[in-house]
Homo-oligomer: A and B are copies of this chain.
Amino acid sequence: MADAIDFYFDFSSPYGYFASTRIDALAAKYGRSIDWHPLALGVIFKATGSAPLTTLPMKGDYSIHDIERTARFHGIDYRLPPTFPIATQIASRGMLWVQATHGDAQAIAFAQAIFRALFVDGIHVGEPENVARIATAVGLDAAALIDAAGSDAIKAQFKDSISAAMARGVFGSPFIIVDGESFWGFDRFDQIEALLKNGTI
């Protein structure tokens, strides 16, 4: 089987959420699997001198509109969260714990539930009690997940994972690497599909 596709995202990224709703089906169509990698864009932005898209002058107002329009255009459920952007490290570190203890399928189910809670139901997934509720809903041990998400071991693992991503050139969300080829943005799915289909781009 061909190598897995690397899918990097921040739970607070709307375009990352859009990608999360489509990437598994796209990969499955071409017999590929996906490795999901949560990021903390705040850490990366400190290194690159960037800032959350929706907070940038002019670009911010445009992007809020573009995100809603893009969701409609692609038929994806979406509502601007009442508090946005938010820090989502607890969910990200919780996901690493689920990957290590329960495997990828449950980790992806948890990630999809976090994305949906934030971008469809408007739940503040930066709050541990909300992350715990979502964990319970997808059949995980919420107390164990929250404990692990606050542990030094998982914090170190998350930091290393972000450094490793940056060493591969990852600077935004969604960021997808297929066979060494890097793609930034939900609007590169057409090019990703061409590469998966033709083996070259």
Inter-chain contacts of A172 with B (CB < 8 A): 59
B171 engages A62 (CB within 8 Å): yes
Q: Which residues of chain A have a CB within 8 Å of any CB of chain B?
A: 47-50, 56-59, 61-62, 65-66, 69-70, 72-73, 166, 169, 171-172, 182-185, 187-188, 190-191, 194, 201
**A185-B187, A201-B73 in contact; A57/B62 too (CB < 8 A)?**
no
Number of copies: 2
A7 to B120, CA, bound (A): 34
Inter-chain contacts of A50 with B (CB < 8 A): 56, 59
Residue from the list B48, B59, B66, B187 in contact with A56, Cβ < 8 A: B48
Residue from the list B70, B182, B184, B188 in contact with A191, Cβ < 8 A: B70
Residue from the list B49, B58, B182, B201 in contact with A57, Cβ < 8 A: B49
